[in-house]
Amino acid sequence: MSGAPESARPMSAHGKQQPLLRYPAPAAGNGSGSGMGRRRYLAFLAIAAALVASYHLLHAPTPSSRYHALFLTLGSNASAAAHLRALTLRPHVAGTQANALAAEYVRATLSSLSFPTRVTPYSVLLSYPVHRSLSLSAGPGRPNNVFPLVQETYPGDPYAEAAAEVVPTYFAYSGSGSVTAEVVYANYGDRKDYAYLASRGVDVAGKVVLARYGDIHCEDMVRNARDAGAAAAIIYTDAKDFGGPAAKGKQKWFPNTRWLPPSGVQVGTLYYGNGDPTTPMWPSCAAGEDCERLSMEELDASEAMPGIPALPVSGRDGETIQKAMGGGVAPPEWQGGEGAPVYRIGPGPAVLNLTYIGNDTLATIENVFAVIEGKEEPDRYVIIGNHRDAWTFGAVDPNSGTAAMLEIAERLSQLEKKGWRPRRTIIVCSWDAEEFALIGSTEWAEDNIDIIGSRAVAYLNVDISVFGPGGLVPRATPQLDELIQEASRMVPDPDDPSHTLYDYMIRQNPPIARVAGAGTDFAAFVQHIGVPSLDMSYGLFSEYPVYHSLYDDFVWMQRFGDPLFHRHVALASVWGLIALRLADDEIIPFNYVSYASELEESSKVVEDGCPGCAVSFSPLHKSIKQLEKAAMKIHMEKKVLQADKWGLNTRERTLKVREMNDRLMMAERAFTNREGLAGRPWYKHMIYASSDQDDWGTKAFPGIVSAMANAQKLNTSESWRLLQHEIYRGARAVSKASAVLDGRLT
């Protein structure tokens, strides 16, 4: 950021060859049924099961299924570990030389497997710190406290020298300026927290807000502070949430435990949008090429920019500020953990003097691709992706995912050597600048929107492959649910090989979440274009307290995240198997019956949130019934075709398969609307998008939910009319998807 790191020698992941570590035979799993139209659905399943049984009696296992079984035996813990070590030798934030070296490592690894590779550069607006300072005046007769704003290394830290290259703690795209003002404590910085402050008579206008990480993303926290009138914001990592349980007689944080040290700081981005800020809604271009861009003046006036200075600080610094505060005592749920001082809401008497000067500048980023061309349908794409750039070393976020993706590529290369070729094209993507605003994936998706829209079967994302212990945690669009369950039954749980990944997943509620909140690189594919999408990880975010800090390094992963690297291999196995099924199955393994069930349940939740409202939800319910019928119809057609009951000749069968696959693939596109969500035109999916108050939050029917909240707040005839309009818009999207699945013209 304030300067690119020095050059380093090219990295190599491969040392002495070690034997492959293979899994035992997988254990059996248990199924579960749908909640909608249960009798009809069970009757349908009985018919389908009979058809499938007759099919298996007449047909031997396909060659592709044998390759898929072989794929599961080829996992290498040693390879995953070697890739992760190589990728995390240095901090590699986007736009720096170290990240260019990481891009070259990924490209060279994929190229060495004989996959055609390419690098696509874009010139985009990135943001780095130039000057930061923060001091505290605690009142008359008390000395000022100048905060060092440094994350500390520890004795024996093998990455201490490389840590000097870490960009100083900051928020990308923060407003520049100096502010001296009293402090107000705002808990987690949610809108309801500001409403509480107002109820206590605390005026935030012109003050410095102190808030702690927890409920929402930093960009929402700073935006809420700005909207409340604050002059600046400080966000800290409270020991209650990131410091771990109290421990006596020993240091309770990393490197001795997984918990964040007192000097640890969680950095992030404050841009409230996706992609290059200078090219919203259209693609950027490479350096030296001519493309339309917003000016810095236009950007500064944009609501997407935070508009006020903000800094992330450590838990130790946050607690120091808390000790100097006065005013009323904060409520119990706003308090810290054991040993923390009593938290007060202010304002003052503590006064903070904050200065932040940033450099927002055009820099080159690089997306890296490998293409495994399909044999029968090369114009149909199964896309798997992970971002490569990291705020610091990135051992968990994101390079655990990069290591798993490269391990998948090595397995696919071994399959190729044994004669395998995918039916459809597989594209392996290493995205850049995700941490700034999902920039690499968004620019490429916008650059190729029409081709992706007509050819992409699915996008399969893994940002973080391993948080730590736990189990498989997927989120997806619902037509992928059945495939995820089938694949997860084939992979033993690395922490309990007597069970499968499915066994843990199915006990969760829900077993599979939805790709609605932004957060990572699936956003451009599902929320902007309408491509069926998946994201998954092993373990839970709560097991990863060093998120976006200096301590996200190989040592942390090796000691706490995945000491044997068997979780990496398990995640790669299920990720790769899903990709293989989508690439090789003659008929795309989508099931929209669960989609209809999901929408019926979601619509009831939305309607229950508006009891007695003067609007009608009947258009939405009617459209979901249409989707249910269309989903059941194509599901039955698929089973009949698989059982070869129509007696089609080769040409007829080929055309029928293609037609059916087009319906299955394109139905998700129909859930989009070209105008997008009200006030958020980039988000075009009418069913799944992030909340307009929480970029990480998940909302089904986001347009309806937002309009409902507005109508309940304003209670005007126009606001209720707009809510009804959004209900109709959602219903039309569902009806469009039904028509595509049904394959009919009106």
Confidence bin at 10 (pLDDT 50/70/90): very low
pLDDT at 159 over 70: yes
Q: What CA–CA distance (Å, rounded) separates 547 from 561?
A: 12
CB 587 within 8 A of CB 661: yes
With respect to residue 135, please indicate whether it lies within any of the assigned structural domains.
Answer: yes
204 and 110: one domain? no
Task: Please report, as a single letter, which amino acid is at residue 458.
Answer: A
Domain match, 228 and 323 both = yes
> Which pLDDT score is estimated for 35?
41
Percent of the chain's residues with pLDDT above 70 = 90
**Residue 51 falls inside a structural domain:** no
Tell whether the model's pLDDT for residue 131 goes beyond 50.
yes
Same domain, 258 and 294: yes
Out of 562, 582, 602, pick the residue that ends a domain: 582
The confidence score (pLDDT) of residue 338 equals 87
CATH of the domain at 426: 3.40.630.10
User: Rounded to an integer, what distance in angstroms lies between the CA atom of residue 642 and that of residue 90?
Assistant: 51
Total residues found in the chain within this entry: 746
Q: Is residue 65 part of a domain?
A: no
For residues 572 and 649, membership in a common domain is answered with no
Indicate the residue type of 735: S
Predicted confidence (pLDDT) at residue 292 exceeds the cutoff of 90: yes
**Cα Rg for the chain, rounded, in angstroms?**
26
Look up the CATH number of the domain holding residue 234: 3.50.30.30
pLDDT-derived band of residue 142, with 50, 70 and 90 as boundaries?
A: confident
Q: What is the pLDDT averaged over residues 70-79?
A: 97
- Shared domain for 607 and 516, answered yes or no, is no
The answer to whether position 503 is within a domain reads: yes
With respect to residue 466, please indicate whether it lies within any of the assigned structural domains: yes
Secondary structure of 614-632 in the HEC alphabet?
CCCCHHHHHHHHHHHHHHH
Residue 536 contacts residue 400 (beta carbons within 8 Å):
no
In-domain check, residue 55: no
Give CA–CA dist 46/134, Å, rounded. 68
| Token code pair at residue 651 | 């040409």
464: left (phi over 0), alpha (psi -120 to 50) or beta: beta
pLDDT, one tens digit per residue, over 444-462 is 999 999 999 999 999 999 9
Flag whether the pTM goes above 0.75: yes
Strands 117-137 and 177-185: unpaired
Amino acid (one-letter) located at 257? T
Q: Is 434 a catalytic residue?
A: yes
Picking from 358, 381, 415, the residue at the C-terminal end of a domain is: 358
418 HSE (CA, 13 A, CB side)? 14
Helix 618-642 × helix 38-58 angle, to 10°: 20
Q: Tally Cβ neighbours within 10 Å of residue 601.
A: 14
β-bridge partners, 424: 377
Partners of 370 in the beta sheet?
A: 117, 428
Least confident of 13-27, 543-557, 569-583, 729-743: 13-27
Instruction: Provide the domain limits for residue 162.
Output: 126-358
The predicted structure's pLDDT at residue 339? 87
Q: What is the pLDDT of residue 190?
A: 94
In a domain, 162, yes or no: yes
234 in Cβ contact with 212 (< 8 Å): no
Are 661 and 382 within 8 A, CB to CB?
A: no
Confidence of residue 60 (pLDDT cuts 50, 70, 90): very low
Please, which pLDDT band fits residue 1 given cuts at 50, 70 and 90?
Answer: very low
Structural domain ending residue among the three candidates 564, 582, 600: 582
> Per-residue pLDDT for 734 more than 70?
yes
CA distance 135 to 311: 12
Alpha-carbon gap, residue 352 to 329, rounded angstroms: 20
- Asked whether residue 235 is assigned to any structural domain, the reply reads yes
Q: What is the mean pLDDT of the chain?
A: 90
Q: Are the beta carbons of 164 and 157 closer than 8 angstroms? A: no
Q: Are 199 and 188 in contact (CB under 8 A)?
A: no
Instruction: Report the pLDDT averaged over residues 284-304.
Output: 95
DSSP state of 558: I
Task: Using a pLDDT cut of 90, give the percent of the chain over it.
Answer: 84
Q: CA-CA distance, 179 to 234, in Å (whole number)?
A: 12
pLDDT of residue 647: 84
Residue 466 per-residue DSSP state: B
The pLDDT of residue 223 is 96
Range 154-178 average pLDDT: 97
The counts of H helices and E strands in the chain are 24, 18
Are residues 691 and 720 located together in one domain of the fold? Answer: yes
Q: Are 641 and 660 in contact (CB under 8 A)?
A: yes
Same domain for 381 and 253 = no
Q: What is the pLDDT of residues 511-553, one digit of tens each?
A: 999 998 768 999 999 999 999 999 999 999 999 999 999 999 9
* Distance separating alpha carbons of residues 426 and 423, to the nearest angstrom: 9
- The verdict on 457 and 571 lying in the same domain is yes
* Farthest CA pair distance, the chain: 93
**From 165, 219, 319, 434, active-site residue:** 434
Tens-place pLDDT, residues 425-443: 999 999 999 999 999 999 9
Q: Give me the number of domains the chain comprises.
A: 3
Q: Are residues 133 and 224 in the same domain?
A: yes
Span 170-189, pLDDT tens digits: 999 999 999 999 999 999 99
Q: Are both 468 and 562 inside the same structural domain?
A: yes
Say which range, 47-56, 414-423, 466-475, 481-490, has the weakest mean pLDDT. Answer: 47-56
572 and 608 together in one domain: no
Q: Which residue do the tokens 């040693």 mark?
A: 78
Q: How many CB atoms lie within 10 A of CB 622?
A: 12
Q: Do 225 and 371 have their domain in common?
A: no
Q: What element of type H or E holds 533? A: strand 533-538
The CATH number assigned to the domain holding 735 equals 1.20.930.40
Place of tokens 């973080």: 464
| Category of 259 on φ-ψ map: left (φ > 0), alpha (ψ -120 to 50) or beta | beta
